[in-house]
Chain A
Amino acid sequence: MLGTLSYNKQKTIIIVSFLLIPLILLGTFTYYPALKLIYYSFTNWDGYSPEKPWVGLANYKEVFTTPDIFKVFTHNFAYFAMGIIQNIVAIYFAVILTGKLRGKTGFRILLFLPYIMNGVAVAFMFGYVFDTTNGSLNVFLNNIGLSSLAQTSWLGTDGLVNYSLASTGFWRFMGYNMVIYIASLQAIPRDIYEAAKIDGANSMQTLWRITLPNMKPVIQLNLFLTVTGALEVFDLPFVLTKGGPAGASQTYVMRVVDTAFAYSNYGLASAMSIILLFFVVFVLLLQQLVLNRGGDK
Protein backbone atom coordinates (compact mmCIF):
# COMPACT_ATOMS: atom_id res chain seq x y z
CA MET A 1 0.00 0.00 0.00
CA LEU A 2 2.75 2.35 1.05
CA GLY A 3 4.74 1.37 -2.02
CA THR A 4 2.33 3.06 -4.41
CA LEU A 5 2.82 6.49 -2.82
CA SER A 6 5.60 8.81 -3.87
CA TYR A 7 8.70 8.61 -1.71
CA ASN A 8 8.11 12.14 -0.51
CA LYS A 9 4.68 11.27 0.85
CA GLN A 10 5.99 8.01 2.31
CA LYS A 11 8.75 9.95 4.01
CA THR A 12 6.24 12.22 5.75
CA ILE A 13 4.09 9.27 6.81
CA ILE A 14 7.07 7.34 8.17
CA ILE A 15 8.50 10.33 10.02
CA VAL A 16 5.18 11.08 11.72
CA SER A 17 4.14 7.51 12.51
CA PHE A 18 7.58 6.34 13.65
CA LEU A 19 8.08 9.28 15.97
CA LEU A 20 4.55 9.52 17.37
CA ILE A 21 4.60 6.94 20.18
CA PRO A 22 8.24 7.45 21.17
CA LEU A 23 7.68 11.19 21.46
CA ILE A 24 4.45 10.72 23.44
CA LEU A 25 6.38 8.53 25.88
CA LEU A 26 9.16 11.08 26.11
CA GLY A 27 6.63 13.84 26.75
CA THR A 28 4.55 11.94 29.30
CA PHE A 29 7.32 10.53 31.44
CA THR A 30 10.08 13.09 31.06
CA TYR A 31 8.91 16.54 30.05
CA TYR A 32 5.45 16.60 31.61
CA PRO A 33 6.79 15.56 35.06
CA ALA A 34 9.51 18.17 34.70
CA LEU A 35 6.91 20.88 34.03
CA LYS A 36 4.80 19.67 36.96
CA LEU A 37 7.89 19.80 39.11
CA ILE A 38 8.34 23.47 38.23
CA TYR A 39 4.73 24.11 39.22
CA TYR A 40 5.00 22.17 42.51
CA SER A 41 8.14 24.08 43.41
CA PHE A 42 6.00 27.24 43.80
CA THR A 43 3.54 25.52 46.13
CA ASN A 44 3.77 23.85 49.51
CA TRP A 45 1.91 20.74 48.40
CA ASP A 46 2.10 17.83 50.81
CA GLY A 47 1.76 15.11 48.16
CA TYR A 48 -1.85 14.07 48.73
CA SER A 49 -4.14 17.07 49.46
CA PRO A 50 -6.20 18.21 46.49
CA GLU A 51 -5.23 21.85 47.05
CA LYS A 52 -1.73 23.00 46.29
CA PRO A 53 -1.30 26.37 48.03
CA TRP A 54 0.79 28.81 45.99
CA VAL A 55 3.75 30.12 47.99
CA GLY A 56 5.77 31.87 45.30
CA LEU A 57 9.53 31.68 45.76
CA ALA A 58 9.39 30.62 49.43
CA ASN A 59 10.73 27.12 48.71
CA TYR A 60 13.67 28.46 46.72
CA LYS A 61 14.42 30.93 49.52
CA GLU A 62 14.34 28.09 52.01
CA VAL A 63 16.82 26.02 49.97
CA PHE A 64 19.27 28.91 49.65
CA THR A 65 18.98 30.00 53.28
CA THR A 66 19.42 26.53 54.76
CA PRO A 67 23.18 25.86 54.62
CA ASP A 68 22.48 22.30 55.71
CA ILE A 69 20.94 21.52 52.33
CA PHE A 70 23.93 22.63 50.28
CA LYS A 71 26.42 20.99 52.57
CA VAL A 72 25.42 17.60 51.22
CA PHE A 73 26.97 18.55 47.87
CA THR A 74 30.37 18.15 49.48
CA HIS A 75 29.46 14.46 49.76
CA ASN A 76 28.74 14.35 46.04
CA PHE A 77 32.19 15.73 45.23
CA ALA A 78 33.81 12.35 45.98
CA TYR A 79 31.78 10.78 43.18
CA PHE A 80 32.81 13.49 40.75
CA ALA A 81 36.51 13.08 41.52
CA MET A 82 36.28 9.31 41.19
CA GLY A 83 34.26 9.66 37.99
CA ILE A 84 36.98 11.72 36.31
CA ILE A 85 39.63 9.15 37.24
CA GLN A 86 37.25 6.45 36.05
CA ASN A 87 37.02 8.02 32.57
CA ILE A 88 40.78 8.44 32.27
CA VAL A 89 41.31 4.80 33.25
CA ALA A 90 38.54 3.74 30.85
CA ILE A 91 40.13 5.59 27.90
CA TYR A 92 43.50 4.12 28.81
CA PHE A 93 42.17 0.55 28.83
CA ALA A 94 40.11 1.19 25.69
CA VAL A 95 43.13 2.40 23.75
CA ILE A 96 45.39 -0.48 24.80
CA LEU A 97 42.63 -3.05 24.23
CA THR A 98 42.00 -1.90 20.67
CA GLY A 99 45.69 -2.15 19.86
CA LYS A 100 47.63 -5.29 19.09
CA LEU A 101 47.68 -7.31 22.29
CA ARG A 102 47.44 -10.99 23.13
CA GLY A 103 44.44 -11.96 25.22
CA LYS A 104 42.71 -8.61 24.78
CA THR A 105 39.29 -10.21 24.41
CA GLY A 106 39.68 -11.94 27.75
CA PHE A 107 40.75 -8.74 29.48
CA ARG A 108 37.89 -6.84 27.88
CA ILE A 109 35.39 -9.43 29.11
CA LEU A 110 36.74 -9.40 32.66
CA LEU A 111 37.04 -5.61 32.99
CA PHE A 112 33.46 -5.17 31.82
CA LEU A 113 32.19 -7.87 34.19
CA PRO A 114 31.26 -5.61 37.16
CA TYR A 115 28.89 -3.56 35.03
CA ILE A 116 26.61 -6.52 34.41
CA MET A 117 26.36 -7.29 38.12
CA ASN A 118 23.25 -6.37 40.04
CA GLY A 119 23.72 -3.03 41.78
CA VAL A 120 22.04 -3.96 45.03
CA ALA A 121 24.02 -7.22 45.17
CA VAL A 122 27.20 -5.26 44.47
CA ALA A 123 26.33 -2.77 47.20
CA PHE A 124 25.92 -5.55 49.78
CA MET A 125 29.04 -7.28 48.41
CA PHE A 126 31.05 -4.13 49.10
CA GLY A 127 29.30 -3.78 52.43
CA TYR A 128 31.08 -7.01 53.29
CA VAL A 129 34.36 -6.03 51.64
CA PHE A 130 34.44 -2.75 53.60
CA ASP A 131 33.36 -4.28 56.92
CA THR A 132 35.80 -3.12 59.61
CA THR A 133 36.30 -6.30 61.59
CA ASN A 134 35.61 -9.17 59.17
CA GLY A 135 35.81 -7.21 55.94
CA SER A 136 38.02 -8.73 53.28
CA LEU A 137 39.63 -5.40 52.38
CA ASN A 138 41.08 -5.05 55.87
CA VAL A 139 42.03 -8.74 55.95
CA PHE A 140 43.78 -8.27 52.61
CA LEU A 141 45.60 -5.11 53.75
CA ASN A 142 46.73 -6.97 56.84
CA ASN A 143 47.97 -9.87 54.70
CA ILE A 144 50.11 -7.65 52.49
CA GLY A 145 51.64 -5.97 55.52
CA LEU A 146 49.65 -2.75 55.66
CA SER A 147 48.27 -3.52 59.11
CA SER A 148 48.17 0.16 60.06
CA LEU A 149 45.48 0.64 57.42
CA ALA A 150 43.71 -2.59 58.26
CA GLN A 151 41.71 -1.11 61.13
CA THR A 152 40.05 1.48 58.91
CA SER A 153 36.31 1.85 59.18
CA TRP A 154 35.72 2.42 55.46
CA LEU A 155 32.02 3.11 55.76
CA GLY A 156 32.02 4.52 59.28
CA THR A 157 34.45 7.44 58.94
CA ASP A 158 33.07 10.83 58.01
CA GLY A 159 35.50 12.00 55.36
CA LEU A 160 36.17 8.54 53.98
CA VAL A 161 32.72 7.01 53.55
CA ASN A 162 31.93 8.91 50.35
CA TYR A 163 35.22 7.90 48.72
CA SER A 164 34.61 4.29 49.71
CA LEU A 165 31.16 4.44 48.12
CA ALA A 166 32.47 6.29 45.07
CA SER A 167 35.18 3.68 44.55
CA THR A 168 32.41 1.08 44.44
CA GLY A 169 30.85 3.12 41.63
CA PHE A 170 34.24 3.22 39.91
CA TRP A 171 34.53 -0.55 40.23
CA ARG A 172 31.09 -1.01 38.68
CA PHE A 173 31.12 1.48 35.83
CA MET A 174 34.69 1.75 34.56
CA GLY A 175 34.15 -1.22 32.22
CA TYR A 176 31.00 0.36 30.83
CA ASN A 177 32.82 3.60 29.96
CA MET A 178 35.61 1.50 28.49
CA VAL A 179 33.29 -0.41 26.18
CA ILE A 180 31.71 2.83 24.94
CA TYR A 181 35.18 4.19 24.24
CA ILE A 182 36.17 0.96 22.48
CA ALA A 183 33.07 1.21 20.27
CA SER A 184 33.92 4.78 19.35
CA LEU A 185 37.53 3.77 18.61
CA GLN A 186 36.35 0.99 16.32
CA ALA A 187 34.01 3.37 14.51
CA ILE A 188 37.01 5.38 13.32
CA PRO A 189 37.54 4.28 9.71
CA ARG A 190 40.59 2.08 9.30
CA ASP A 191 41.77 3.88 6.14
CA ILE A 192 42.51 7.05 8.14
CA TYR A 193 45.02 5.04 10.13
CA GLU A 194 46.43 3.47 7.00
CA ALA A 195 46.78 6.88 5.39
CA ALA A 196 48.53 8.16 8.52
CA LYS A 197 50.86 5.18 8.45
CA ILE A 198 51.75 5.84 4.82
CA ASP A 199 52.44 9.44 5.75
CA GLY A 200 54.85 8.17 8.39
CA ALA A 201 52.93 9.08 11.56
CA ASN A 202 54.11 7.35 14.74
CA SER A 203 51.78 5.87 17.34
CA MET A 204 51.79 8.95 19.61
CA GLN A 205 50.95 11.23 16.68
CA THR A 206 48.19 8.87 15.65
CA LEU A 207 46.79 8.91 19.18
CA TRP A 208 46.79 12.73 19.45
CA ARG A 209 45.86 13.59 15.87
CA ILE A 210 43.40 10.85 14.96
CA THR A 211 42.24 8.75 17.89
CA LEU A 212 41.43 11.35 20.54
CA PRO A 213 39.88 13.98 18.19
CA ASN A 214 37.62 11.28 16.77
CA MET A 215 36.65 10.20 20.27
CA LYS A 216 35.84 13.76 21.33
CA PRO A 217 32.03 13.53 21.06
CA VAL A 218 32.01 10.30 23.04
CA ILE A 219 34.40 11.67 25.65
CA GLN A 220 32.15 14.69 25.98
CA LEU A 221 29.10 12.49 26.41
CA ASN A 222 30.82 10.28 28.98
CA LEU A 223 32.08 13.27 30.94
CA PHE A 224 28.62 14.75 30.93
CA LEU A 225 27.21 11.48 32.22
CA THR A 226 29.92 11.39 34.88
CA VAL A 227 29.07 14.86 36.11
CA THR A 228 25.31 14.27 36.17
CA GLY A 229 25.95 10.86 37.71
CA ALA A 230 27.97 12.47 40.49
CA LEU A 231 25.34 15.12 41.14
CA GLU A 232 22.59 12.52 41.20
CA VAL A 233 24.12 9.66 43.19
CA PHE A 234 21.44 7.80 45.02
CA ASP A 235 21.35 3.99 44.83
CA LEU A 236 24.62 3.09 46.50
CA PRO A 237 24.39 5.16 49.69
CA PHE A 238 20.64 4.51 49.85
CA VAL A 239 21.21 0.75 49.92
CA LEU A 240 24.54 0.50 51.70
CA THR A 241 24.79 3.20 54.35
CA LYS A 242 21.32 4.77 54.33
CA GLY A 243 23.19 8.09 54.46
CA GLY A 244 25.13 7.22 57.60
CA PRO A 245 27.14 7.59 59.71
CA ALA A 246 24.96 10.44 60.99
CA GLY A 247 24.21 11.79 57.52
CA ALA A 248 27.87 11.84 56.39
CA SER A 249 27.07 9.95 53.18
CA GLN A 250 23.69 11.47 52.46
CA THR A 251 23.65 12.77 48.90
CA TYR A 252 21.60 15.62 47.51
CA VAL A 253 19.15 13.34 45.70
CA MET A 254 18.68 11.24 48.84
CA ARG A 255 17.78 14.43 50.61
CA VAL A 256 15.29 15.41 47.89
CA VAL A 257 13.66 11.98 48.05
CA ASP A 258 13.46 12.11 51.85
CA THR A 259 11.99 15.60 51.77
CA ALA A 260 9.25 14.44 49.41
CA PHE A 261 8.41 10.92 50.44
CA ALA A 262 9.42 10.82 54.11
CA TYR A 263 8.53 14.38 55.15
CA SER A 264 5.74 14.93 52.58
CA ASN A 265 7.18 18.29 51.61
CA TYR A 266 6.70 17.99 47.84
CA GLY A 267 7.00 21.74 47.29
CA LEU A 268 10.43 22.03 48.84
CA ALA A 269 11.57 18.77 47.22
CA SER A 270 10.47 20.06 43.81
CA ALA A 271 12.37 23.30 44.28
CA MET A 272 15.45 21.27 45.22
CA SER A 273 15.02 19.19 42.04
CA ILE A 274 14.77 22.29 39.86
CA ILE A 275 17.90 23.72 41.47
CA LEU A 276 19.66 20.44 40.78
CA LEU A 277 18.55 20.68 37.16
CA PHE A 278 20.01 24.19 36.95
CA PHE A 279 23.30 22.92 38.32
CA VAL A 280 23.37 20.16 35.72
CA VAL A 281 22.72 22.66 32.94
CA PHE A 282 25.34 25.02 34.33
CA VAL A 283 28.00 22.31 34.53
CA LEU A 284 27.12 21.18 31.02
CA LEU A 285 27.46 24.68 29.57
CA LEU A 286 30.73 25.18 31.41
CA GLN A 287 32.06 21.90 30.06
CA GLN A 288 31.05 22.76 26.49
CA LEU A 289 32.72 26.13 26.80
CA VAL A 290 35.98 24.73 28.15
CA LEU A 291 36.20 21.74 25.82
CA ASN A 292 35.26 23.64 22.69
CA ARG A 293 37.70 26.44 23.40
CA GLY A 294 40.49 24.03 24.28
CA GLY A 295 39.94 21.99 21.11
CA ASP A 296 42.80 21.98 18.64
CA LYS A 297 40.56 21.74 15.61
Chain B
Amino acid sequence: MTSSVPDAAPAPVWAVFDRQNDLLSAVAEVRRLGLEIVDIYSPYAVHGLERVAGFRRSRMHRVAFVFGSLGVLCALALQYWTTAISWPINVGNKPWNSWPAFIPVTFELMVLFAGVGSIVVFLGLSRLWPGRQAELPFAGLTDDRFALGVQPSLGTAQGAELAQLLRDHGALQTLIGPPTGQEEAR
Protein backbone atom coordinates (compact mmCIF):
# COMPACT_ATOMS: atom_id res chain seq x y z
CA MET B 1 0.00 0.00 0.00
CA THR B 2 2.66 2.45 1.06
CA SER B 3 5.28 1.39 -1.51
CA SER B 4 3.83 3.69 -4.18
CA VAL B 5 4.48 6.77 -2.06
CA PRO B 6 8.12 7.87 -2.64
CA ASP B 7 8.82 9.51 0.72
CA ALA B 8 6.96 6.91 2.76
CA ALA B 9 8.31 5.80 6.14
CA PRO B 10 11.03 3.14 5.89
CA ALA B 11 9.87 -0.46 5.66
CA PRO B 12 9.24 -2.28 8.92
CA VAL B 13 11.74 -4.92 9.96
CA TRP B 14 10.55 -8.22 11.35
CA ALA B 15 12.58 -10.64 13.42
CA VAL B 16 11.81 -14.16 14.63
CA PHE B 17 13.18 -15.43 17.95
CA ASP B 18 13.03 -18.77 19.66
CA ARG B 19 13.96 -17.67 23.18
CA GLN B 20 11.94 -15.29 25.31
CA ASN B 21 15.06 -13.70 26.81
CA ASP B 22 16.35 -12.83 23.32
CA LEU B 23 13.02 -11.26 22.55
CA LEU B 24 13.03 -9.28 25.79
CA SER B 25 16.56 -7.94 25.22
CA ALA B 26 15.75 -7.04 21.58
CA VAL B 27 12.59 -5.24 22.65
CA ALA B 28 14.50 -3.33 25.32
CA GLU B 29 17.14 -2.34 22.76
CA VAL B 30 14.56 -1.23 20.21
CA ARG B 31 12.87 0.87 22.84
CA ARG B 32 16.21 2.38 23.90
CA LEU B 33 16.77 3.46 20.31
CA GLY B 34 13.34 5.06 20.28
CA LEU B 35 11.94 2.87 17.49
CA GLU B 36 8.29 2.06 17.24
CA ILE B 37 7.14 -1.52 17.83
CA VAL B 38 4.59 -2.62 15.23
CA ASP B 39 3.55 -5.75 17.09
CA ILE B 40 4.91 -8.72 18.95
CA TYR B 41 3.66 -12.26 18.50
CA SER B 42 4.22 -14.89 21.13
CA PRO B 43 2.91 -18.39 21.88
CA TYR B 44 2.35 -17.53 25.53
CA ALA B 45 2.13 -14.44 27.70
CA VAL B 46 5.76 -13.52 28.42
CA HIS B 47 6.08 -12.24 31.95
CA GLY B 48 6.96 -8.54 32.00
CA LEU B 49 6.96 -8.07 28.22
CA GLU B 50 4.27 -5.40 28.22
CA ARG B 51 6.36 -3.34 30.63
CA VAL B 52 9.56 -3.67 28.56
CA ALA B 53 7.69 -2.96 25.34
CA GLY B 54 5.90 0.01 26.90
CA PHE B 55 2.48 -1.12 25.77
CA ARG B 56 -0.42 0.64 27.38
CA ARG B 57 -2.13 -1.21 30.19
CA SER B 58 -5.39 -2.79 29.25
CA ARG B 59 -8.50 -0.97 30.39
CA MET B 60 -10.72 -4.03 30.41
CA HIS B 61 -11.37 -3.60 34.13
CA ARG B 62 -13.40 -0.48 33.30
CA VAL B 63 -15.52 -2.54 30.93
CA ALA B 64 -16.08 -5.11 33.66
CA PHE B 65 -17.00 -2.38 36.13
CA VAL B 66 -19.57 -0.85 33.79
CA PHE B 67 -21.16 -4.21 33.00
CA GLY B 68 -21.07 -5.27 36.66
CA SER B 69 -22.84 -2.06 37.68
CA LEU B 70 -25.38 -2.63 34.94
CA GLY B 71 -25.95 -6.12 36.31
CA VAL B 72 -26.56 -4.77 39.82
CA LEU B 73 -29.04 -2.20 38.53
CA CYS B 74 -30.88 -4.70 36.34
CA ALA B 75 -31.08 -7.25 39.14
CA LEU B 76 -32.41 -4.75 41.69
CA ALA B 77 -34.85 -3.27 39.20
CA LEU B 78 -36.16 -6.71 38.19
CA GLN B 79 -36.64 -7.86 41.76
CA TYR B 80 -38.16 -4.59 42.94
CA TRP B 81 -40.56 -4.37 40.04
CA THR B 82 -41.72 -8.00 40.17
CA THR B 83 -42.13 -8.27 43.94
CA ALA B 84 -43.24 -4.75 44.89
CA ILE B 85 -45.10 -3.44 41.84
CA SER B 86 -46.19 -6.06 39.31
CA TRP B 87 -47.64 -8.66 41.67
CA PRO B 88 -46.77 -8.18 45.35
CA ILE B 89 -47.04 -11.38 47.40
CA ASN B 90 -46.73 -11.57 51.16
CA VAL B 91 -43.80 -13.85 51.93
CA GLY B 92 -43.21 -14.34 55.64
CA ASN B 93 -44.63 -10.83 56.23
CA LYS B 94 -41.52 -9.29 54.71
CA PRO B 95 -41.86 -5.80 53.24
CA TRP B 96 -42.60 -5.65 49.49
CA ASN B 97 -39.14 -4.27 48.86
CA SER B 98 -37.27 -6.76 51.06
CA TRP B 99 -33.93 -5.78 49.59
CA PRO B 100 -31.64 -7.85 51.89
CA ALA B 101 -33.23 -10.96 50.41
CA PHE B 102 -32.46 -9.62 46.93
CA ILE B 103 -28.70 -9.43 47.49
CA PRO B 104 -27.76 -13.00 46.48
CA VAL B 105 -29.47 -12.70 43.08
CA THR B 106 -28.04 -9.20 42.65
CA PHE B 107 -24.54 -10.51 43.31
CA GLU B 108 -24.93 -13.38 40.85
CA LEU B 109 -26.23 -11.10 38.10
CA MET B 110 -23.40 -8.64 38.77
CA VAL B 111 -20.88 -11.45 38.18
CA LEU B 112 -22.79 -12.73 35.14
CA PHE B 113 -23.02 -9.33 33.44
CA ALA B 114 -19.41 -8.37 34.23
CA GLY B 115 -18.05 -11.74 33.04
CA VAL B 116 -20.08 -12.09 29.86
CA GLY B 117 -19.73 -8.38 29.07
CA SER B 118 -15.96 -8.31 29.37
CA ILE B 119 -15.57 -11.46 27.26
CA VAL B 120 -17.80 -10.09 24.51
CA VAL B 121 -15.97 -6.74 24.51
CA PHE B 122 -12.61 -8.52 24.56
CA LEU B 123 -13.53 -10.68 21.56
CA GLY B 124 -14.85 -7.64 19.71
CA LEU B 125 -11.84 -5.42 20.39
CA SER B 126 -9.41 -8.20 19.53
CA ARG B 127 -11.41 -9.13 16.40
CA LEU B 128 -11.81 -12.74 17.42
CA TRP B 129 -14.83 -14.68 16.30
CA PRO B 130 -15.64 -18.23 15.22
CA GLY B 131 -14.33 -18.98 11.78
CA ARG B 132 -12.04 -15.96 11.50
CA GLN B 133 -8.84 -16.69 9.59
CA ALA B 134 -5.78 -16.20 11.77
CA GLU B 135 -3.26 -13.71 10.41
CA LEU B 136 0.07 -15.24 11.32
CA PRO B 137 3.11 -13.45 9.84
CA PHE B 138 5.40 -16.43 10.48
CA ALA B 139 5.05 -20.13 11.14
CA GLY B 140 5.39 -21.55 14.64
CA LEU B 141 4.03 -18.50 16.45
CA THR B 142 1.53 -20.60 18.37
CA ASP B 143 4.18 -23.19 19.16
CA ASP B 144 7.55 -21.80 20.27
CA ARG B 145 8.45 -18.81 18.06
CA PHE B 146 8.28 -15.13 18.88
CA ALA B 147 8.06 -12.41 16.24
CA LEU B 148 8.89 -8.74 16.67
CA GLY B 149 7.98 -6.08 14.13
CA VAL B 150 9.85 -2.77 14.34
CA GLN B 151 8.94 0.40 12.47
CA PRO B 152 12.05 2.54 11.95
CA SER B 153 11.65 6.24 11.31
CA LEU B 154 13.88 8.52 9.24
CA GLY B 155 17.19 9.10 10.93
CA THR B 156 17.19 5.92 12.98
CA ALA B 157 18.68 2.52 12.33
CA GLN B 158 16.75 0.92 9.49
CA GLY B 159 16.83 -1.71 6.84
CA ALA B 160 19.83 -4.04 6.90
CA GLU B 161 21.39 -2.17 9.82
CA LEU B 162 18.34 -2.73 11.99
CA ALA B 163 18.07 -6.33 10.86
CA GLN B 164 21.69 -6.92 11.88
CA LEU B 165 20.99 -5.32 15.26
CA LEU B 166 18.08 -7.70 15.83
CA ARG B 167 20.21 -10.65 14.76
CA ASP B 168 22.81 -9.57 17.30
CA HIS B 169 20.10 -9.97 19.92
CA GLY B 170 19.50 -13.55 18.88
CA ALA B 171 16.99 -13.29 16.04
CA LEU B 172 16.94 -16.48 13.98
CA GLN B 173 15.62 -14.78 10.92
CA THR B 174 14.89 -11.21 9.84
CA LEU B 175 12.75 -9.78 7.12
CA ILE B 176 12.71 -6.26 5.74
CA GLY B 177 9.26 -5.21 4.70
CA PRO B 178 5.86 -6.51 5.74
CA PRO B 179 5.67 -10.31 6.05
CA THR B 180 3.68 -11.84 3.25
CA GLY B 181 2.29 -14.70 5.24
CA GLN B 182 3.68 -18.01 6.29
CA GLU B 183 7.40 -17.35 5.81
CA GLU B 184 9.39 -20.42 6.70
CA ALA B 185 10.84 -19.91 10.15
CA ARG B 186 11.72 -23.40 11.18
Are A and B subunits of one complex? no
A residues at B contact (CB < 8 Å): none
